[in-house]
Amino acid sequence: MAASIRAATESETFDLAGNSTSTIKNTISDAFSSPLELQDMIRITFITGAGKLGRSKYDADAAKTVTSTLRELGYDEDKGASCVVECAGCFKSQHDTGKNLKTIVVFPKIKTIAQGMGDMNIESAGDGSPPVLAENTDIHYIAMSSTNVFQRMLEVKCASWSQKKACVGVIEEIQGLVNGLDEKLMSGTPLTDSEQDFYDSCELSVLEQKLSHVRSEMHKQVDESRITSREKSRLLNQVNEKLQQLDKDIADATKNKKPKKLEKLKMQKTKAGERKASLEEITPSAPLPLRFQKDIEKLRKEMQPLLKLESETKGRLLSLKETTTLARKDEIEEEIADLEDNSRGWFEEDEDFQVRVDASRAQAKARATRKVVKKSGGGGGSRATGGAKKSIATWVVPGAAKRPAARKTGKKKPAGNAFAAMMDSDSDSD
C-alpha cells in the first residue's frame, strides 16, 4: 500500500479494513516519511471506520494510529485544508454521512522541481541578478524538468490540443532564450550567475526532444478525433489560410515561369487539401472532464441532503443541530470552487475552461434532476401498470342521477350488462 501511495499521481482512496495498528503505522511511515514527487497537490484518503455493519472490519485505533503517525512525521491537522499546494503536510478527519464511513484525508508533502533544484546542483544567483525564468511557473517547469517528468506533466497539465499548441510556443520561446545566451557568449560577453545557471541546466537537445514529443502528441490527438468543435474550427481556418496563400504563390510561380517551385507548391496544395478533407470528417469530442471531477462529484453528493434540509427549513428558526449541519454546506461550496480552479490546465483560455466547468455543473444538475424524476415516478402497484393504480372508468349520462353502488351478491354479472344499461338509459332520455 505504501508503494501505491508514493506512486499515486492523482487523488486516491485506500481502505484500512483488516489492517492492524502496527501495519497501519508502518504503511503511513513508509508512505509519508519523505515528500512525494508531484507537480500538484493530491489528496490521499484513508478509510478508518464504518457504521454498524462494517465496524468490525476496522481496528478501533485505526484513525488514532494514522493521525499520531502523521504528527510524528511533522504533519499538522487542519480542518479547513483543501487540495492545494499551500496545504501540503496537512491532514483532516471526515465523516462521510452518505456512505457512513470515517476517513482521514492527507495532503502530502510534495517535492516540486523548484524544491529539487538542489539535487540538480542549481543554486540561486550569487551576484543578486534576477533569474532568467521566474520559479514555480509553468515555463520554469517546462524548461527545468527532465524529459520523462515533462511527458508526465504534459499529460496532466496540457491535456487538450489547444494547450499543447500553446506549449509548443513556450518551448520555442525557451529555445530562443538559450540561443540568445549562446550568442552572448560567442560575442565575448560574460553571463550573469543566473544566466549561467540557466544556460548550464537547459540543453537545446533536451528542449528539441520535448518539442518533438508535444508535436507528436498533437498529431495523435487529431488523428484519433480527440479535439473539440472550437479546435476543429481553428484547424480548418489554418488550413484554409494556407490554401489561400498557396494559391497566391502558385499564381506568382506560374507568372514568373518557375516550374520547379510550381511543382513543389502544387504538391503542398494537394497535401493541404487532403488534410482539410480529413479534418472535415472528424466528429468533435466533448470537452475534457475536470481533473478533479471525481472529488467534485463526491462533494456534490454530500451536498444533496444539505440542500434538501435547507429547503425544508426555509421560513422558520433553525435548531442548533440544523445550523451546525448546514454550516458544512458553505464549506463544501468553497471546496468545490477550489477544486474547479485547480482543475485548470496550463495555457488554457478562459472560454475553454469555462466550457468545461459549465459541462461539469450541467452533468451534476442533470443527475440530480433524474433522481427527482425517478423518486416522483416510483410507487406501489403492479409491474404491469408500472406502479400506477388502475382507475375504474365511471360512465355518467347527462341528466341522469348517479346510481348508488349495487350491493355485492356474490354473483358475477354478464359482461354486456353495463353497455346494455347505457343503451337503456339513452333510450329513456330520447
Mean pLDDT of 352-367: 89
Predicted confidence at residue 67, as pLDDT, reads 93
Confidence of residue 376 (pLDDT cuts 50, 70, 90): low
Does 197 score more than 80 pLDDT?
Answer: yes
CB 336 within 8 A of CB 296: yes
* Domain residue extents for the chain: 2-107, 117-228, 240-280, 293-376
φ, ψ for residue 48 (rounded to 5)? -110, -5
The three three-digit cell numbers of residue 81, written as one number: 485544508
The residues facing 47 across adjacent strands are: 15, 103
Buried b (16+ CB within 10 A) or exposed e, 153-186: bbeebbbbbbbbbbbbebbeebbebbeebeeeee
Top mean-pLDDT range of 7-11, 180-184, 318-322, 407-411: 180-184
Confidence of residue 385 (pLDDT cuts 50, 70, 90): very low
Q: Give the pLDDT confidence of 51-106 residue by residue, as tens digits.
A: 877 888 899 899 999 999 999 999 988 877 778 777 888 999 888 776 788 899 99
Give the Cβ contact number of residue 207 at 10 Å. 20
Q: Give the pLDDT confidence of 389-430 residue by residue, as tens digits.
A: 444 445 454 444 445 555 544 444 444 444 344 444 444 444
CB 145 within 8 A of CB 119: no
Confidence of residue 158 (pLDDT cuts 50, 70, 90): very high
